[in-house]
Structure 1
């Protein structure tokens, strides 16, 4: 077993030989014995293996295994050194890239963030050296690893790096490889985050930057949903999976990429379960998620089938969450105890109704009694909503930028946007006849320049209270009537949870969305620490060595 001094002596012998270094195989074999030495010997051995590896073809399998052993060393410094040295072996041996990438992918399960960063750097070096070989190793772990953490971190690594790789790395052949393998991975992802990251990888590819590419991605999501199968809505995991898949398609829809198939599937398989199963199981968060998805799907659905039936369904669900004004003693009780209204659901349902009714604007006007009843409800909801907005503005007045970033104030900002959106839609429906021209930015969607404008026009602008009179329109209303009592102490952390990004937003009553969870419906566990499972998997890689 070579000592530090002996290792340096062996290094000098081989290095001084220059072009004849390959003649010193005995010396290189002695260097390999350093893996059984102390910390200093093991670290030098890693460096010297990387330095002379290409000179000794007959010893390369043994040298490679020695370096793999050092990747599992007890000393973190030695592990990092070996991980850093691994890509060096592939410079003159491109056939090793997939194997080394596979081993590095397994090492992503390490707990130390510094080690994980070292693995990232080595994988990035390999990607630039041989992208196809590296991706082959990464995707093998994504598809076949029994360790959920390994699969998750491989997907997250690729998602984070694909956007910084230039066209020299992401060639057409490489993009085709990613697409082929990504389709396989989508069959085994075990969480919404993994699904989102993998779809994010595909959205970064050049081939998917066009309208045609968006349509192809939508078709890929449709394959995951499988419109031909019947959804068992008593199984909430299956429903979660459908919801998670459809959410990935939402950013892709436009006037050129229609959401019609998704609307029809949701209406056929999911909407009937809102009352029958999901609500009965007290799964309010999932119900709200479904309502949000419907609201985002309808603007891009084109001409949907059985439009009157769909409007009727939404209309009746609106009646459930938009009550008639209280009267007599009930009104007094409301004044004393406040009211509890489901603003988040109302925003979703009202927006969906508004979008669908554009295609059949006689729905309300064809029945004057229905119109009158609906407007009484809208008027009451608008008054409470406006009073709610006033309280929210007062609570947010004079807050600094940092103060507005607290969780409580984020929730209040979402609440302000939600109530503003509701009032904009109600005002449109109070036109004579009802109008369907208003445009809003849904409260849970990320704020953009257009969304910011909508916030200004909605949340920051005071509205004249909306009242119903069969002989007048909102424009002729000059004086404020006495408003109903606003909600008292109904807005708190229990009122909902704010979550950034496309799937966030508050639920102003009941529970908001929870954390990430593992809600997509694929059971699994993170597996053991890597020392318990890393050895023995080397031979499982399909490329082999």
Structure 2
């Protein structure tokens, strides 16, 4: 066993030789034996290997294996020193980078944050030595390692470094390499990993062009079957997660027509079956999932070119609306004045916006006076609850500004206020004769997504709406229908559904694996 004293002697012999240090290969081999020494010897060995790694090319493999062994040492300080040394020994040796990056990626499973930071620093050093080589090692782990802790940390590392390192490291050639490798990884990514890898791609300049955005949208759409209805829980969550990511790449130049048509034909007609399938699979947030589907559809309408069979689409939307728009009770009956109806504001906003959009494609849809009359009665009743709820929200937000409005509770109230304002704006268009899509709104959930929007401005930017009423005779002219008055009922309590968000099913997570739980793969 090599002692600390002997290691110092060996080191001095090589150091004193200066230009002839390479002749002391025997002494260096003995230094490598220090990996079996005591704590002090092992720590010193890790330092000496990095100091003379390039001097003895014939000992390259043995030196790397010694460092790999020390990366699994029982002593944390030795592990950190060895990890740092791995980042150093690759300077000027690009051929070693993929192999070392592969090992370092596996070390990201460590529990100690200080050690994970050392791994990240060593990987940055490798990126600067040979970016493509380092990425080769990282993507090998993404493609072949099923450990979600390692994969997640590799993706977080990539995202952070793509954002922070210069284009000298992530030049065009490297960006294209990342895009190529990401396309191989995406089919096997889970929902959280999909979000991360798409965020990485979104940071690349080569992916911000129209061509790049189109390729990303196409890539994601190939991951789901757009010909089958959404009836299986796993299929539902995967499809929604994938198309939600694709939404980020649609624009006036990259059309969403294919996805919109899929949602009209395979999503909307199956809302009840979708919720039932999710509940049977143990997902208690089934209603939140279908709400996310409706939000996705509404968000993509702007970028669609055409709608096939718009009348069929409008029938599906109207049916879904009638399921959530309660019939007004007769005057004097329970429910009119006490706010007994359960008003699903977020769902109604999505569906009204979608129906409003479709009017442009089929203006004669409401030619049946009975259908229109029933629809308007429900809208008028819903509008009363919406306006009453707006009043409560304004009172809750009155006098608040600046940081006060940025609390989570007040952000939710602002979105709720935007939701009810949108609903009232859209409802008014359905009281034109015939109904017409004249108004333009910004969907409420975009208030939360648009980081550049002033929250304080959002609190004061909503207009008060006059009550929307309808006469009992549904055939009366629209102008008369807007007159009439009935007592406004009390706002519903705890009924706002805007707080529901799609979580993509059961969360993944758990702590990282401790050192020694499983050895890493070596070449």
TM norm structure 1? 0.87
Q: 1:88-237 residue pairs with structure 2 within 5 A?
A: 88-190=88-190, 192-227=191-226, 230-231=228-229, 233-237=230-234
Distance 1:308 1:65 in 2: 69
Match of 2:300 in 1: 297
* Alignment deviations for residues 49-74 of structure 1 (CA, whole Å, 9 cap, x no partner): 10100111121211111111111112
Q: Where do 5+ consecutive residues of structure 2 fail to align?
A: 280-285
Distance 2:244 2:199 in 1: 12
Distance 1:412 1:162 in 2: 35
Query: Any idea what SS the aligned residue of 1:335 has?
Result: coil
Q: Is structure 2 residue 313 aligned with structure 1 residue 310?
A: yes
Distance 1:475 1:373 in 2: 13
Q: 1:340 deviation in Å? A: 1.5
| Contact 2:431–2:482, Cα closer than 8 Å, also in 1 | no
| Contact 1:379–1:466, Cα closer than 8 Å, also in 2 | yes
Alpha-carbon spacing, 1:407–1:516, altered in 2? closer, same or farther (3 Å):
farther
Query: Any idea what SS the aligned residue of 1:362 has?
Result: coil
Distance 1:30 1:234 in 2: 66
Distance 2:91 2:481 in 1: 75
Match of 1:270 in 2: 267
Alpha-carbon spacing, 1:334–1:13, altered in 2? closer, same or farther (3 Å):
farther
Q: 1:391 deviation in Å? A: 1.0
419, 437, 460: which is aligned to 2:462?
Answer: 460
Distance 1:148 1:7 in 2: 41
Q: 1:447 deviation in Å? A: 4.5
Kindly tell me the number of residue pairs found equivalent between the two proteins: 512
* Alignment deviations for residues 455-510 of structure 1 (CA, whole Å, 9 cap, x no partner): 74986321112223544549986x975312211x325xxx65xxxxxxxx523xxx
490, 506, 523: which is aligned to 2:494?
Answer: 490
Match of 2:365 in 1: 363
| Contact 1:444–1:506, Cα closer than 8 Å, also in 2 | no
| Contact 1:86–1:122, Cα closer than 8 Å, also in 2 | yes
326, 330, 337: which is aligned to 2:329?
Answer: 326
Q: 1:280 deviation in Å? A: 6.4
Distance 1:383 1:321 in 2: 15
Query: Any idea what SS the aligned residue of 2:60 has?
Result: helix
Q: 1:26 deviation in Å? A: 2.0
Distance 2:195 2:480 in 1: 44
Match of 2:288 in 1: 285
Distance 2:505 2:35 in 1: 42
Q: 1:400 deviation in Å? A: 6.0
Q: 1:402-481 residue pairs with structure 2 within 5 A?
A: 402-445=403-446, 446-448=448-450, 456=458, 460-468=462-470, 470-471=476-477, 473=479
| Contact 1:430–1:474, Cα closer than 8 Å, also in 2 | no
Distance 2:452 2:91 in 1: 50
Q: Is structure 2 residue 45 aligned with structure 1 residue 45?
A: yes
Match of 1:12 in 2: 12
Match of 1:375 in 2: 376
Q: 1:215 deviation in Å? A: 1.0
479, 499, 517: which is aligned to 1:506?
Answer: 499
Distance 2:452 2:170 in 1: 33
Query: Any idea what SS the aligned residue of 1:465 has?
Result: coil
Alpha-carbon spacing, 1:385–1:279, altered in 2? closer, same or farther (3 Å):
farther
Stretch moving more, 206-215 or 450-459: 450-459
What RMSD over aligned residues (CA atoms) do the two structures have, in Å?
2.8
Q: 1:103 deviation in Å? A: 0.4
Alpha-carbon spacing, 1:276–1:458, altered in 2? closer, same or farther (3 Å):
farther
| Contact 2:110–2:513, Cα closer than 8 Å, also in 1 | no
Distance 2:440 2:515 in 1: 52
Distance 1:241 1:169 in 2: 34
Distance 1:514 1:318 in 2: 24
Distance 1:458 1:447 in 2: 19
237, 242, 248: which is aligned to 1:240?
Answer: 237
Alpha-carbon spacing, 1:244–1:447, altered in 2? closer, same or farther (3 Å):
closer
* Alignment deviations for residues 231-290 of structure 1 (CA, whole Å, 9 cap, x no partner): 5x4420111001011001112212221111111222333333212342465421221121
| Contact 1:156–1:194, Cα closer than 8 Å, also in 2 | no
Match of 1:384 in 2: 385
Q: Is structure 2 residue 404 aligned with structure 1 residue 397?
A: no
Distance 1:440 1:455 in 2: 16
Distance 2:453 2:354 in 1: 18
Q: Is structure 2 residue 514 aligned with structure 1 residue 529?
A: yes
Distance 2:339 2:404 in 1: 30
| Contact 2:325–2:378, Cα closer than 8 Å, also in 1 | yes
| Contact 1:109–1:149, Cα closer than 8 Å, also in 2 | yes
* Alignment deviations for residues 113-132 of structure 1 (CA, whole Å, 9 cap, x no partner): 22112211111111121011
| Contact 1:102–1:138, Cα closer than 8 Å, also in 2 | yes
Q: Where do 5+ consecutive residues of structure 1 fail to align?
A: 497-504, 540-545
| Contact 1:335–1:484, Cα closer than 8 Å, also in 2 | yes
Q: 1:527 deviation in Å? A: 8.0
Query: Any idea what SS the aligned residue of 1:225 has?
Result: coil
Distance 1:295 1:123 in 2: 42
Distance 1:458 1:430 in 2: 27
| Contact 1:148–1:526, Cα closer than 8 Å, also in 2 | no
Alpha-carbon spacing, 1:277–1:117, altered in 2? closer, same or farther (3 Å):
same
